[in-house]
Amino acid sequence: MKPLLLIDVDGPLNPYAAKPRRRPEGYTTHRMRPTGWTEPESRKPLRVWLNHGHGAELLALAGAYELVWATTWKDEANDWIGPHLGLPRLPFIDWPRMHGRAPRGTFWKTQYVLEYAGDRPFAWVDDDITALDREYVDQRHPARALLMRIDERVGLGRADFDALAAWAAWTT
């Protein structure tokens, strides 16, 4: 069985913290209204920057991984993000509770990532991963895990895709 590749949207695929009004090189601007975009003070749709080359990179990794959305977009990533990247519909983690309390100072997603992964190896790309999350996973997950913190100002880059490919080759 292939390891899982758990993919967050905001940060890794959408470098939302890049300088405002300066779209990162290689990215295109999209305006979206996912269900979670409920900021009452904002009449404008959510600005999302996507690099269409990331779709081909993720599809190349699909030979070594089972791709899974691990994002607050949940299934809506299949409607709003996947089509722009040329991705098929992917399974997603249906968070039982979002933005809640988490054990031992970890990111709120971490406990649910472990539940979803079960005993399978996984790589996870997210902009909120910390050393506490790595320690928590190391102590509780029975299989190999790679937690990659992605800079939310930059998004996934060539070195990240290379590291994911190398880790999958080493894991299988």
What's the confidence (pLDDT) of residue 5?
98
Question: Which amino acid belongs to residue 150?
Answer: I
CA distance 83 to 9: 13
CA distance 126 to 65: 17
* Lowest-confidence region among 40-44, 138-142, 160-164: 40-44
What's the confidence (pLDDT) of residue 102?
75
Q: Domain containing 160: what range? A: 4-171
For the beta carbon of residue 17, count every other beta carbon within 10 angstroms.
14
Convert 100-114 to b/e letters by CB count within 10 Å (16 or more is b): eebeeebbbbbbbbb
Q: In which band, very low, low, confident or very high, does the pLDDT at 24 lie, cut at 50, 70 and 90? A: confident
Is the pLDDT confidence value at 42 over 70? Answer: no
CATH number for the domain harbouring residue 69: 3.40.50
Is the pLDDT confidence value at 130 over 90? Answer: yes
Total count of domains within the chain: 1
**How large a percentage of the chain has pLDDT more than 90?**
74
Is the pLDDT confidence value at 167 over 70? Answer: yes
Average pLDDT, the chain: 91
Element (H, E) at 50: strand 46-50
When pLDDT is averaged across residues 141-158 and rounded to a whole number, the result is 96
Going by the DSSP 8-state scheme, the letter that residue 74 receives in this structure is: T
Contact 7, 69 (CB under 8 A): yes
What's the confidence (pLDDT) of residue 49?
95
When pLDDT is averaged across residues 67-72 and rounded to a whole number, the result is 96
When pLDDT is averaged across residues 33-57 and rounded to a whole number, the result is 81
Q: In which band, very low, low, confident or very high, does the pLDDT at 22 lie, cut at 50, 70 and 90? A: confident
Q: Give the CA radius of gyration of the chain.
A: 16
Longest Cα–Cα distance in the chain:
48
